[in-house]
Structure 1
Amino acid sequence: MSATQRTTLEGSRLVLVPLEKRHLSKRVEYINDPAVQATLNFDYPTSLAKTEAWFSKNVLAANRVDFALESKSGDVIGFGGYVNVDRVVKKAELYIFIGKDYWSGGYGREAYKIITNYGFIELGLNRVYGYQLGNNHKANNSVKKIGWSVEGFLKDDIYSHGELKGRSVVAILRDEWAANGVYDEVLSKQACNRMVNVLLACAGRRHYLASYFNQALGQTGRVVGTDMDLSSPALQACDAAHKLPGVFSENYLDALKEVVIKEKVDMVFSLNDLEIGLLAENRDQFERETGATVYVPPVETYQICSDKWHTYQFARELGIDTPETFISIDKALRALKLGEVRFPLIVKPRWGSASIGLFVVESEDDLEATFQACKNAVAKSALASLGTENAVIIQEVIVGSEFGVDVLYGKNEKFIGFSVKRKTCMRAGETDKSVTVSPDPFSAIVEKLVSVLPHRGNMDCDFFERDGRFYLLELNPRFGGGYPFTHMAGANHVQMLIDDYQGRELIPYSYQLGKAFAKFDTLVEVSV
C-alpha cells in the first residue's frame, strides 16, 4: 500500500506483496484472533467494513507501506510493513503480525529480515525501530539474533486491551544492518549499495517531479537538476543543481555531458520540448560518451510529436480521430465554405510549445491577420530555430470534454501501461483539476499508438471527446503538467521507471478510478 510502493519481495519461504483489497478478509480474521490480538495494539475487534474504510483512507498514504505475507503456496500467513515513515529523519516503525498457525517455521524471522532490507534499500532509512508489547523477553531475544538492539522499556506507554501497558523499544541502524551478514540470506549486499542517480534537465517549475524522484530513491540515489536559472523551483528539491546555458547554445550538449559524468547520472529526463529534440538527435552518442540512459524518444517519434502537422497526418494514417488541420489559409477557407469545419478555429505554431502564439479566431475577417500574428510570434521565439516556412497551422476546435492520457514506456522502449484522467479545469495551458476515469475507452487507441510509436519514459497525450468519439490533439514525449494527477491516483511512473531501469519485476499496472485532485500554488525558498 502507498503510492510509492510498487515492489514484490521474495525470500526462501515468503513472498511479500503490496496489500490489496483481496487480503483484507484474512487481515480481519487474524486481528480478531485473541491469540494474535494479545500481541497487537490494533482496534479490537474489527470488521471487514471498518477495515475496507481504513484501506481506502490509507492506500495512498505517503507515510506507510503495507505488505501481505504469503507462503510460496499462496496462503496469506500474516501482514507487515512500515508506519510513521519519516523521510526527513529517515526512520520508520516496522510492524509484523502472523497467524497463530504459522508461528513456528521461521516465518517471522524471515519477514523481519525482508522488511528490514526493504526499509534500508528502498526507503533509504537510517533507523528502523519497533515496539514489543509488554516486557516480552522472547520477542526481544528473537530480534537480537538478527542484529537489533533493545533500546529500553517505556512504562505505561500505551493504552491497550483496557489498561495501560509498557513496551520495549527495539531498533537497528543502517550501519549495523550493513555490517550484519545475516541479512545476506535474503538479499545480496551488492543490492544494498546500488545507487541510481537521476538528472532532470531544464527542470524549471516541476518541483513536484523532483520530489517524486527523491521519495522513490530515498538514500539509494540522488536527484540532479539543471536549468538556466539556479532559482528555478524544481532545483530546490534536487540534491545537486547546475546552471547551464540555453538549449541552443553551441556548447549546451557538452555542458550537459559534463554534469552527467561528474554526478555519475544513470537516468536522464528532459522537461523541455526543444531540448528533447536535441537529445533525441544525439541520443546514441550521448549515451556512449556518458554511460547514462537518456529517456527521450527516437528521432522519428520526436518528429511526429513535436510537429503538430505531422501529428495530424500520423493520426489520420493510423485511423485515429483528430481535429481537422490545415497548413494554409486557402485550405482552411475552402473547408469553411464546404461546411467541413466552422468557427471558432485555433491558429497556432506548427511546433507548438508553452502556448506560444496561440490564437482563437471567430471570423474570416480575423483569420489572415491572426495567421500573420502567429507567424510573427514564432519568428520572435525559440521556435524560430525549428523553421519559419509553413510554421503555422489552423485547427478545428473540438467542443467537448478533454482527457489526458499518460502512457509509460520502459528503458527498452517497451510499453508498460497507461492511465486516463478527465480534465475539469485548465489554467495557463496546464491541467488544474481532473478526475481519473476508466482506461477502457482508450485501450484500442493506445494499442495503435504504442505499436508504431517507440519511446522511453512518459508520453503525455491530449484528447477531446465529441459525440462519443475521441480526437487526438497532441503527443508530448515527456512528463507533462498533468502527471501529478496520475501519480496521486496510484500509477507511480517514477517508481516504475526506476524499477524497470534496475531490472526489477513490475507489478501489474493499475490506478484508482474516480480520484479527483486540484493543484494549488505554493512557495519554495530559492537562492539569491
Structure 2
Amino acid sequence: MNILILSPGRRVEIVEYFKETFHAVGGKVFTLDMSPYAPALYSGDEFFRIDKDFNHLEYYIDNVLEICKQKEVSAILTLIDPELVLLSDYKDIFEALGIKVILSDIDFVKQTFDKYGFYCAYKDIINLVETVGSYEEAKKKLKDGTWKYPLFAKLRDGSASIGIKKIYSSIDFDGIKENPKYIYQPFIDGAEYGIDAYFDLITGELVSVFMKKKIAMRAGETDKAISVKSQTVLNEVKQITKIKGLYGPIDIDVFVSNTGEVYINEINPRFGGGHPHAYGCGINFMKLILNNLEGKVNTPIFDNYEEGIMMLKYNGLMFRSVNE
C-alpha cells in the first residue's frame, strides 16, 4: 500500500507520521513538490520534483499520474490549498486508475476556497461568523450599529493568513477598501480553537475529533496550543455533518466568545498546520486513512486523548547536497 503526498512543503512531521503507519504494512510514502527547497520533500521514501506550469496544469497532472503508475501508488493527497481544487478537477481520472484521491467532494472543496461563497452557502446550516462581501456593506453595518469596531478583514481567496487585517477605525480601511477581494467580519472577542476532524472515506461519517486551544500563531499556522475538551464546541462541530460530501482530514477554525457563543470561522478540507498536536496526543489520522484504503470502516471515537498537553513548535534543520 503506497501513498503519494503532493506539495508537502515544510511539513516534515506529517510525512514521517505517514511513514510510521504505512511502513508497518510494507507500504511506501512518496513525496512530490515543485520546489527543491521544500524540506519535507526529502522525507519521503522516494521524492520527485516536478515543475508546475500554471498555464498548463494538465502537464503537471500527467507527470503525477505517470509517477503513480510507476510506483504503484494506491492513494494521493495534497497538503496545500491551491491543489485541492486541482485534484478535485482530475479526481475521476485518478480513481479510474484505482488511485484513491483523499479529498472531499468537488463542490464542497471549491466552496471552501471562496470564503464568502462558503459563508453564503452554509450560514443557514452551521453557526458561521457573520460575513459581508464588501467594504460598503461593512460600513453600513457600522453605521446602523449592527457592528462596531474592531472588524476583521481577510481576502476572499486567502490562505495562510496572508492579507489579514484588524480594522480599528475608518483610517484602517485605507489601502484595502478598494480591493474587491476583501471580505469583512465582526471581531470575536474570546478564544480560538483548532479542530482536527476525520470523515471516514467509505461512509462519510465523522469518526474522530481532536480539539486544541490556540495560544500563538505564526505564518497562518498554530505555533503553540494546548489540548482541550469542550462538549459545547464538539456539539457545534458535529453540526458540520449536515454538510454532505466531506471525506478524510478536515481542519476547522472555531471561535468561542467571552460570553460562550460558538462560531465556526473556516473549514479547510485538508490536514491543518497544527495536526502534529493531534498525533502527539495519540490521534492517528494516518491509521484511519490506511484502514479505509484497506476497505475497513472506522468506528467513531471522540474522547480518546488527554487534555492539557501542550504543543510547542520549534525550528529544525535539514542538510542536502545540491546534486540530489
TM-score computed with the length of structure 1 as normaliser? 0.57
**Map of 1:264 onto structure 2:** 72
Evaluate the alpha carbon distance shift between residue 366 and residue 231 of structure 1 in structure 2; reply closer, same or farther with a 3 A threshold.
Answer: closer
What letter corresponds to residue 182 of structure 2 in structure 1?
V
Trace 1:161-310 onto structure 2 (pairs within 5 A).
196-218=1-23, 220-246=26-52, 248-250=54-56, 251-288=59-96, 290-310=97-117
Deviation, structure 1 residue 368: 4.4
Task: Give the distance between the partners of 1:439 and 1:277, measured in 2 at CA.
Answer: 32
Question: 1:319 deviation in Å?
Answer: 4.2
4+ residue runs over 6 A deviation: none
Give the conservation status (yes or no) of the 8 Å contact 1:341–1:396.
yes
SS in 1 for 2:273: coil
For 1:222 and 1:298, how far apart are their aligned partners in 2?
26
Q: Which residue, out of 488, 505, 514, partners 2:308? A: 514
Q: Are 2:165 and 1:359 aligned?
A: yes
1:183-207 CA-to-partner distances (Å, cap 9, x unmatched) read xxxxxxxxxxxxx111110111110
For residues 21-48 of structure 1, the C-alpha deviation after alignment (integer angstroms, 9 at most, x for no partner) is xxxxxxxxxxxxxxxxxxxxxxxxxxxx
Superposed CA offset, 1:119-161 (max 9, x none): xxxxxxxxxxxxxxxxxxxxxxxxxxxxxxxxxxxxxxxxxxx
| Shift of residue 508, structure 1, vs aligned partner | 5.3
1:417 and 2:211 equivalent? no
Equivalent position to 2:241, from 450, 455, 460: 450
Where in structure 2 are there 5+ consecutive unaligned residues?
A: none
Greater gyration radius: 1
CA 1:337–1:284 in 2, change beyond 3 Å: closer, same or farther? same
1: CA distance, partners of 2:156 / 2:296: 40
1:369 counterpart SS class: coil
Q: 1:404-448: per-residue Cα shift (whole Å, max 9, x none)?
A: 111102222332221111111212221111111115222332222
Supply the distance in 2 between the matched residues of 1:263 and 1:371 (Cα, whole angstroms).
50
Secondary structure of the residue aligned to 1:297 is: coil
Distance in 1 (CA, whole Å) between partners of 2:88 and 2:318 is: 32
Q: Match for 2:308: what amino acid?
A: G
Find the aligned partners of 2:50 and 2:77 in 1 and give their Cα distance: 15
Q: Does the CA-based 8 Å contact 2:129-2:265 persist in structure 1?
A: yes
Partner of 1:46: none
Shift of 1:269: 1.0
8 Å contact from structure 2 (residues 196, 210) kept in 1:
yes
Taking a change above 3 Å as real, the CA distance of residues 443 and 259 of structure 1, as seen in their structure-2 partners, is same
Distance in 2 (CA, whole Å) between partners of 1:431 and 1:472 is 17
Q: Any stretches of 5+ residues in structure 1 without a counterpart?
A: 1-195, 376-389
SS in 2 for 1:275: helix
Q: Tell me how far apart the structure 2 counterparts of residues 445 and 451 of structure 1 sit (CA, whole Å).
A: 11
TM-score (norm 2): 0.91
Determine if contact 2:211/2:228 at 8 Å carries over to the other structure: yes
* Residue pair 1:231, 1:527 contacting (<8 A) in 2 also: no
CA–CA separation in structure 2 for the residues paired with 1:393 and 1:261: 42
Distance 1:527-1:355 versus aligned 2 partners, 3 A rule? farther
Contact 1:346 1:396 survives alignment (8 Å): yes
Residue 320 of structure 2 corresponds to: 526
Alpha-carbon distance change, 213 to 319 in structure 1, aligned in 2, over 3 angstroms: closer
Give 1:468's aligned residue: 260
Q: Does the C-alpha gap of structure 1 residues 294 and 527 become closer, same or farther in structure 2, counting only changes over 3 Å? A: farther
Q: Is the 8 A contact 1:306 1:351 kept in 2?
A: yes
CA contact (8 A) 1:236 1:525 kept: no
**CA shift digits 1:43-98 (9 cap, x unpaired):** xxxxxxxxxxxxxxxxxxxxxxxxxxxxxxxxxxxxxxxxxxxxxxxxxxxxxxxx
**SS of equivalent residue, structure 2 residue 123:** helix
Per-residue deviation, residues 488-521 of structure 1 (Å, max 9, x unmatched): 1111111121122213464652222222221111
More relative contact order in 1 or in 2 (CA 8 Å, sep 6+)?
2
Aligned to 1:140: none
SS at structure 1 position matched to 2:314: coil
1:481 aligns with 2:273: yes
1:402 corresponds to 2:192: yes
Counterparts in 2 of 1:505 and 1:349: CA distance versus 1, 3 Å: closer
Write the letter of the residue equivalent to 1:305: T
Q: How far 1:311 sits from its partner (Å)?
A: 2.5
Q: 1:214 to 1:247 in 2, by over 3 A?
A: farther
Q: Is contact 1:419–1:439 with CA below 8 Å preserved after alignment?
A: no
Equivalent residue number for residue 441 of structure 1: 232
Going from structure 1 to structure 2, the CA distance change for 1:358 and 1:409 (only over 3 Å counts) comes to same
Structure 1 residue 451, shift from structure 2 partner: 2.7
Aligned twin of 1:11: none
In 2, the alpha carbon distance for the partners of 1:465 and 1:471 equals 6
